[in-house]
Chains A and B, each alone.
Chain A
Amino acid sequence: ETGVTQSPTHLIKTRGQQVTLRCSSQSGHNTVSWYQQALGQGPQFIFQYYREEENGRGNFPPRFSGLQFPNYSSELNVNALELDDSALYLCASSLISGRDLREQFFGPGTRLTVL
């Protein structure tokens, strides 16, 4: 059983650019959530995808968008990057069975720096 993987590990972009971050879910999981973690803060929920559809969203603008693929891997896209988007981006996969969301397993994160 493989764990959650994310790519790339580090990324540097300039203001106004677009970025795509990738996440490979743990085997058997059907749900992926994305979080933004600024330095010294707790993770902030961006959105969750369940069976390729957005299942929930936090307080993030529409320039943060995502996709979940049939193999349950996922992408986070951020358009028109701003300096405040500099953060660690975490992906977490889990299994929704019935109405129960099982434990979330986190990836190592992608460190995004916007200059």
Chain B
Amino acid sequence: AQRVTQPEKLLSVFKGAPVELKCNYSYSGSPELFWYVQYSRQRLQLLLRHISRESIKGFTADLNKGETSFHLKKPFAQEEDSAMYYCALSGRGNYGQNFVFGPGTRLSVLP
């Protein structure tokens, strides 16, 4: 079964501290992995995707196929990073294209 897990519902860190949002997945094949973010009162938007290997707003994520993980990291958290973060995968399912989102982690960056 295709599945995405995010073990932390809520993660609180102080401004300037490192942050790591965990994501694990199960998929038989080569999925594409994404991180989406939703800031307060805004739409869900793409933060980054593993194939682009970019750093967006200081965030990076490395796909570890051995551990089936795609953790999101930032060395120094900012207050404006406070938001809901969703890990997601895209691949082929039983009925064609499939997308699976995790339950999300709410990041709260404290002053």
Residues of A within 8 A of B (CB): 33, 35, 40-45, 48, 54-58, 90, 92, 101, 103-108
Contact = CB atoms under 8 A, between A and B. Distances in A.
A45 B100 contact: yes
B70 interface: no
Nearest to B52: A103
Contacts of A92: 44
A107 B43 contact: yes
Contacts of B49: 103
A54 B27 CA distance: 22
B41 to A, nearest CB: 10
A106 B43 contact: yes
Given A42-B104, A56-B93, A58-B93, A106 B44 contact: yes
Contact of B98 (A45, A54, A107): A45
Contact of A56 (B43, B96, B101): B96
A33 B99 contact: yes
Given A55-B96, A57-B96, A106-B44, A43 B90 contact: no
B45 interface: yes
Given A101-B90, A106-B43, A106-B44, A58 B103 contact: no
Contacts of A42: 4, 86, 88, 101-104
A107 B42 CA distance: 10
A45 B100 CA distance: 7
A107 B97 CA distance: 20
Contact of A44 (B43, B93, B101): B101
14 contacts: A40-B103, A41-B103, A42-B86, A42-B101, A42-B103, A42-B104, A43-B44, A48-B97, A56-B95, A56-B97, A58-B99, A103-B49, A106-B43, A106-B44
